[in-house]
Amino acid sequence: MTWPSTLPWLQFQNLYFQKAMPRPSSQNLGQDGITKLRKIWSYREQMLRIRDEESEEDESAEDASDRESEDDEESEEDEEGGLSTSALVTAMGARAVDMVSQDARFDRAAAEISKSVPEAYEGEHADTLQAMLSGNTEEAKLAAFRLLVYQVSNNLIDYDDEVGDDNKYVRIVDLFRDIGLPRNSWEEHFTKKQDRSSKAFAEKLFEAAVNAEDLEVAEALLKSGADANQPIMSFMSCSFERPIQIAADNRVRNVELARLLVNHGADVDLATQDNPKPAIHKAAQRDSFEMVQLLIESGASIYRSQLETAYSWETSRTPLIFAADRWLFSFERRPRSTSHVEDENGNTGPEKEGVKILRYLVSLHQKGTFPERDKLLIQSALVIAAAQSDPCLVRVLHEAGGDVAEPNSHGITPLMVAASHYNGDTRVVSYLLDHDAPINEPPPRPSALHFAAARGHRKMVALLIDRGADVHISAEISKPLHKCLLGENFNPSDRRVKGWYTPLQLALHRVEESHISVVNNTKTDEAAITLLEAGAQLVGGELVLAVRFLSRRLVGALLERGASPNERDATGCSALQMALRTYQLRGGLEGETVSDILLAAGAAVGKAGIRFAFAAGNVELARFLFDTTDYRGDPGSGGQSLLEAALCSRSPPMIDWALSNPRIPYHSGALCAAVLSHARGDDDIFDRLLEKRRTSGGLRHPILEATALGMLAFGKAGNVSQLRRLLKELGLQGNTCLLPFSDEYISYINVMRGFVAHPLKQKYKESGWWRKPDFMRCSPLVSVISSESPERWSVVRMLLRAGYRPDGLCLLMAISRCTESQVEELIRHGVAVNRAVRYDLDTPLQWAVRHGKGSVVRLLLHHGADVNGLPAVLVPMFRSGGDPNEFKPRSALQMAVERGDLEIIDMLLAEGADVNGPMSMDGGATALQCAAAKGFIGIARMLIEKGADVNASRAERYGRTALEAAAEWGRLDMVQFLLENGADTDSEEGLWQYFRALGFAKQNGHVVVAGLLQDWTVLDRWERRCFLYHGLLDEMFVIPDDDVLDECLGGYGDYSSDDHDDDDDDESDEEGTEHDIDDDDR
């Protein structure tokens, strides 16, 4: 198949590079080229080393100085002539550099470039490489410029993760500058040249210049006609934004860039669907006064609302609200303010940038055209500002007419918000009270004291009490509404959405598991003691809450005031049980023992209390309860045994007594606890437990004993004497153990990638983790393979000899972490090469391809791996944090194509891989769709030659056809290539494919690609209206039926098929054609 002459790249070459690259005399690299290559390779190695050094926290200043010296030397070498090494890496691509360096030949590297860049003639890429590496300076720069134009115009230059490069835009601009074209030639070229490659190159170079903050290049492009409003990808947010939004980002804060954009027609109120937050909203919260003033003077609206909210009682935000919530105001960068302000003590100093911005926006609202709305916005801003720890913000809004006493529409007052400050800062509260903010609220509304008590700050509670707060009143608390004010420690046991609470009850709420958050550990009993000293009355339930503080003072004070020692919470847990459980959870490292106070006050002990006493390490109480209670055996196979509880307590007297007591039987869970003790260096406990296992009765659970084995094997990789003993003692205990990660997709992915050595080490230190539900189940070999020990494989072999067998998870881990021979060893021990661990995970072959392990792929195929194994299904499209899931479901060939791995592609095709193999319906893609999305036009041509369907349907969820994918990612030549090779734009399905491709191109700022598509076909008025369908770019798109279209757009009868010839369409001007669809149509 020959390349179509209509490809924009070929037309560009015919216009501007009519002379072919000089042909080299040999396909081998000359001595000069080898020298240059060594410089490139040295540069890449240096970048890798710098990245590794920067990841070490203890890097010395001397090392940094040495590195700077090396950078200077490198720069000097670059200036000797020709292209810099960094420019050559960018132009050639990291993989091509690697390939040339292996044998100093061009054929493999040229093939690597050919997968993305069409050749005007056979051997062009080899000539280009020769010119860049061995040619003179002019030839090298011309060759690099050719590659740069194609890659940039097709949006192909990507991040170089291998050397830690996270800003491709700087690389693009640096290479463009390195080529050394005079500025006047830039402007002339970009102004006059009208071919698509030149236009797309200018479009994407502008995107790079904005992200790299290169004002000279950006200005030249704007003068030549670049659109200051075109959506571009933001390096900072990884979303499509308007250039003015990028300039206003707090990580950029480039006023000069913003001014340049404004001077060339930027609409400062524009945003994108990807990031709907306008520039003024960004600037008001985190930027500079100069930026805010520029945007306002350029037409930014102070009334525009943004749906983004930070508090549970908000609905939307204007720039003033963002300014009032200026969370970075006390850590401001680049101080520009020269004005001064007087503080509360009469001292003057520079006014903070955030206060200056707020004052400026307030002044605009005071002169605003909507007085009632302005008043409401100032009041809303006052409530938000009260959450900050600086009274200056509150003062500005108060002096502008904000009412310190007035609640918002949800009943939230400024004083409530200020009293709930996370660190207990009282300055704003004092200001509000000094200006007559009411200290109490009418029932059922909570008062400021309720929220201060929930936060647990003694100083805040004391201030409010001193100013007259009612310590007795009960108020209705709504968790959805008040959650931002209550803090993390408010977690009622009955899980009620609403409830009535006194300040004392709120002060006594404390999350049981103190390790969940650092914030939880900061709440003490001080606020509750302050309330009790002020006479707060008990209404019931206080004691069972109070014991979580493990404070003898607090528990004693409540008992003295009449609290019942037998109180229970909504779940039926008594105060004594709660005290023992809390003591156990905190490992005896925090708080005091309060169980003796409760017992002395008459607290009753149920049978369940025995286990709590054992777990808490209270040997006296445990001995008393065990001897006086009718205890018969362990709580059951699903619960923690007494021996296990004693071993988890870490109390030597408790452990010694439990191991010595013949009435306390062995239990497999205790073996897991003993491994923890052994890890802490206590071999005696381990030995005594094994003796108890041999000589006493008790329950033995193979899965728990295998878990203990896995724990020991993980910790003993490299020191195996105890492991040998345990293997001899236990024998083969089945092939399944627990792994302390939840039985869900992301956990399996992390284990498969080998990212669990440190988390596993930490999890294995947690007492009783094996009792938590829904943990992963796998072979004990998994934990060993995940170890970082260099001796881990000897431990793997020890377990294999003992009869333990690898499972599918072992094989997946080994593929990503181990050598080919080690993978083969697992296969020889019976692991299945075609069995997926879960429906939403790769098969071993797919996982090997995903990691680019060509030798392992060959090994798996040799052992019968199914080359056409189906891809995973129901794969989550997003990670828990909202970021896209990088592990999209792919068959082996689809994955190889997406990676652009030519060697593996050839290997799979030779084994019969189906180029039209089925895709997953959840974010899946055919091989051709993968090639189209990545811009691998050479691979796409090869696939089409082998019968790939250009019009294969998209996946049901998050799918794209080949044409849609190419347009979405701005692959200019790929779009033309697919259209020339039969991409359907005429049938009903083809027309909607065309609409979506055009919509994606416009949405993502690929203006030239959109123009190419619009020039491809002529639409009548009805078809143009269909482009406006609101669900066009939905991730679960289905072609709408006629009824839906009639409802959304009006009936077809309202438009005639030849209406594109009517007067309305004749109004097109020289900037468009009669079938153009404007950017604002959708």
The answer to whether residue 549 sits within a structural domain is: no
The answer to whether residue 834 sits within a structural domain is: no
* 160 and 256 in a common domain: no
What amino acid occupies position 382?
Answer: L
* 399 and 416 in a common domain: no
User: CA 895, CA 917: separation in Å to the nearest integer?
Assistant: 12
The answer to whether residue 524 sits within a structural domain is: yes
* 427 and 391 in a common domain: no
pTM confidence score:
0.83
Give the list of residues 6+ apart from residue 341 with CB closer than 8 angstroms, or none.
348, 349, 350, 351, 355, 392
Give the list of residues 6+ apart from residue 757 with CB closer than 8 angstroms, or none.
786, 787, 788
* 528 and 420 in a common domain: yes
Give the pLDDT score at 1053. Answer: 54
* 433 and 328 in a common domain: no
Decide: 1064 and 1055 in contact? Cβ < 8 Å.
no
How, if at all, do strands 737-742 and 775-778 pair? antiparallel
Residue 433's CB: how many other CB atoms inside 10 A? 23
Question: Among candidates 899, 955, 956, 906, which has minimal Cα distance to 931?
Answer: 899
Question: Among candidates 615, 635, 619, which has minimal Cα distance to 627?
Answer: 619
| Burial class for 480, CB neighbours closer than 10 Å (0-12, 13-18, 19+) | exposed
User: CA 947, CA 252: separation in Å to the nearest integer?
Assistant: 48
Give the pLDDT score at 767. Answer: 82
* Domain around 490: 412-537
User: CA 895, CA 848: separation in Å to the nearest integer?
Assistant: 10
Decide: 394 and 400 in contact? Cβ < 8 Å.
no
* 1006 and 1028 in a common domain: yes
Series of mean pLDDT values for 10-residue runs along the chain (1082 residues): 92 76 50 52 54 48 45 43 63 65 68 90 84 74 86 84 62 84 68 84 94 94 92 90 94 94 97 93 89 97 87 84 70 38 50 89 93 94 91 95 92 95 93 97 95 96 98 92 88 78 96 49 89 96 94 96 92 88 74 87 80 84 80 58 88 91 90 81 82 83 93 77 85 88 94 92 88 91 93 93 95 96 97 94 98 97 97 92 89 98 97 98 97 98 98 97 98 98 96 97 94 93 88 94 80 51 42 47 49
- Domains of the chain: total: 4
* 499 and 382 in a common domain: no
How, if at all, do strands 698-699 and 348-350 pair? unpaired
Give the pLDDT score at 72. Answer: 45
Domain-terminating residue out of 144, 173, 206? 206
Helices (H), 494-541: 503-507, 526-533
Helices (H), 617-741: 619-628, 642-648, 652-660, 668-679, 683-695, 702-715, 721-730
Domain-terminating residue out of 379, 403, 427? 403
Give the list of residues 6+ apart from residue 772 with CB closer than 8 angstroms, or none.
740
The answer to whether residue 477 sits within a structural domain is: yes
* 136 and 16 in a common domain: yes
The answer to whether residue 1007 sits within a structural domain is: yes
Residue 442's CB: how many other CB atoms inside 10 A? 10
User: CA 277, CA 322: separation in Å to the nearest integer?
Assistant: 11
User: CA 608, CA 932: separation in Å to the nearest integer?
Assistant: 63
User: CA 546, CA 507: separation in Å to the nearest integer?
Assistant: 9
* 200 and 239 in a common domain: no
Give the pLDDT score at 335. Answer: 38
| In the block, residue with structure tokens 């007259």 | 468
Give the pLDDT score at 595. Answer: 87
Beta bridge partners of 777: 738
* 509 and 395 in a common domain: no
* 503 and 394 in a common domain: no
What amino acid occupies position 819?
Answer: T
Give the pLDDT score at 112. Answer: 87
The answer to whether residue 844 sits within a structural domain is: no
The answer to whether residue 1069 sits within a structural domain is: yes
Backbone torsion region of residue 326, taken as left when φ is above 0, otherwise alpha when ψ lies between -120 and 50, otherwise beta: beta
Give the pLDDT score at 334. Answer: 37
C-alpha neighbours within 13 Å on the C-beta side of residue 321: 22
In this structure, what CATH number is given to the domain that contains residue 264? 1.25.40.20
Domain-terminating residue out of 174, 206, 238? 206
Rg (CA), the chain: 35
Decide: 925 and 919 in contact? Cβ < 8 Å.
yes
Largest CA distance in the chain: 101
The answer to whether residue 992 sits within a structural domain is: yes
Torsion angle of the four alpha carbons 391, 397, 402, 405, in this order, in degrees rounded to the nearest 10: -10
* 423 and 398 in a common domain: no
Give the pLDDT score at 65. Answer: 45
Give the pLDDT score at 479. Answer: 85
